Amino acid sequence: MALAKDACPLQTLYALTQASLLPAGNDVPLVAEACKVWPYDDSLSLAAVAYPLPASDENERVLRLVIAVLGAQEANILAVHETDLAEDAVFALAEHGLLLDTARYDLAAGVRAFGVMLRSSAPGPSCPDGRFNDELTLYVREGRALRPVFTSPMDFWARVEGEPCSWSQGKRLVTEEAVFTIGVEQSAHNGFADLRVTAHVARIESAATSEDETTVPRRASRVVRYDGSRYNVDALENGFFWTQAPEDK
């Protein structure tokens, strides 16, 4: 990944406001923002901005997320995608929680995707069985629209064995954390290149009667394919597939 969380130039924010994509005035502060010139084409810039919708309250906000491609010099808006994000105990957008991923996601001839990552600062439950963070969405430009084609968290944690909040004599705790990376394959389906999602896993084992813990690293991966509208990420979302599955060839 090539991640950036740089603040947006005033020219970019002004252009988004003039297009009614951001609220005017200072009554609605921005929650998070990130802007960057696109290395793929330095005549273009990318912007990701989030702000709370009027009906939001301090405890459970609903955010509007605006993703845009603009001209790098004149800040004219070329393509846009808008979506809403509901905050709760599991997800709360961090102050610097928008990051732009401009790695070389060449999905087809003349089609390069870019990513927007959402980083949560929510504490979550005190004794969870699992949690995830760093949700990455890849977008492709189609005329004046930006279309999401891939969405998945890039960081997972799971309790495999034991109970971290209720240890007893002789019991052990086993957890696993996986950080995902994405690579573009030579093979393709339905016009877009396959993506290889690799999980870099750390298995941590500890016992209630000892301060020592053992960390065992390993790696597993899966190839996800484009179905004509989105990449199928069921293997990533339906449990921690890397705990038993070998690496795809």
With beta carbons less than 8 A apart as the criterion, state whether 62 and 85 touch: yes
Q: What is the full DSSP assignment across 116-142?
A: EEEEE-----SS-SEEEEEEEEEEEEE
User: Which pLDDT score is estimated for 159?
Assistant: 80
Please report, in tens digits, the pLDDT of each residue of the chain (249 residues total).
556 557 899 999 999 999 999 998 766 789 999 999 999 999 999 999 999 998 766 667 899 999 999 999 999 999 999 999 998 888 899 888 999 999 999 999 999 999 999 999 887 666 767 788 999 999 999 999 999 999 999 998 888 877 767 666 667 788 888 999 999 999 999 999 999 999 999 988 877 666 677 888 888 888 999 999 999 987 665 545 444 444 554
pTM > 0.85? yes
Question: What is the 8-class DSSP label of residue 226?
Answer: B
DSSP states of 37-50: E-TT-TTEEEEEEE
Q: What is the pLDDT of residue 249?
A: 46
Angle at 102 between CA 41 and CA 113, to 5 degrees: 80
- pLDDT recorded at residue 171: 76
Burial of 192 (0-12, 13-18, 19+ CB in 10 A): buried
Contact 136, 148 (CB under 8 A): no
* CA angle (46 as vertex; 42, 51 as ends), nearest 5: 160
